[in-house]
Amino acid sequence: MADASANQVVTSKSKNPMKELQLEKLCINICVGESGDKLTRAAKVLESLTGQQPVFRKARYTVRSFGIRRNEKIAVCCTVRGPKALEILERGLKVKEYELYKESFSTSGNFGFGIEEHIDLGIKYDPTIGIYGMDFYAVMGRKGFRIARRKRKQSRVGAPHRNSRTETMKWFQQQYDGVLNTGKPKNVSRNRPNKKKRSCQKRTSLSTAAVSITF
């Protein structure tokens, strides 16, 4: 009897409509690195893809090696929700042949990928605009996440109700018959090992100095 009741609890939890994963929003970003005609053409690409007015993003600080000034418009982005977001996401995954790396999924249950040419999405090539690449980032969620964003009586989403990385990967495989690959190279800073070495050298030098003082 106890086993039967436990199985009923598991099946009821799996069929719970509040636990179903859904796409909350899709963020599409095109970073040009400079302002001017190139950025306005990228905005036209996003507008033709989403049917919405894109938003321009500014640089946070000055980088002389890249020729970027602080508060200069260097990128354009757009946020899509609802059935339009699902449609654009499927077009983007079709370009990737429904294959993503496991490292593309974050611990919070979201995932992202990039596309090199926007004409692969079915947009007609325009020689006056050119070809642009773009980044897709899908934010997943469940029913009930609104309690963390509402103004009155705001509360936290419980840990059992939050979406995890494994659940999103399973949703991707079931929803789109997706394939998960491994072996994506990680972005590791070259300065970190040097800093560790320096700290070790400082410690060894201090220890040798202490030894010489004691003698």
Strands (E) in the chain, as ranges, are: 22-31, 55-58, 73-80, 99-101, 111-115, 134-141, 179-181
Q: Which residue has the higher pLDDT, 19 or 213?
A: 19
Q: What three-state secondary structure class fits 25? A: strand
pLDDT in tens, 116-165: 999 999 889 989 899 999 999 999 999 989 999 999 999 999 999 999 99
Rounded Cα gap, residues 131 and 98, in angstroms: 22
State residue 211's pLDDT score. 39
pTM value is 0.76
Cα angle at 49 between 46 and 51, to 5 degrees? 90
Number of CB atoms found within 10 A of residue 170's CB:
14
Q: pLDDT tens digits for 65-121?
A: 888 889 899 999 999 999 999 999 999 999 999 999 999 999 999 999 999 999 999
Give the pLDDT confidence of 168-215 residue by residue, as tens digits.
Answer: 999 999 999 999 988 766 665 555 555 444 544 444 443 444 434 434
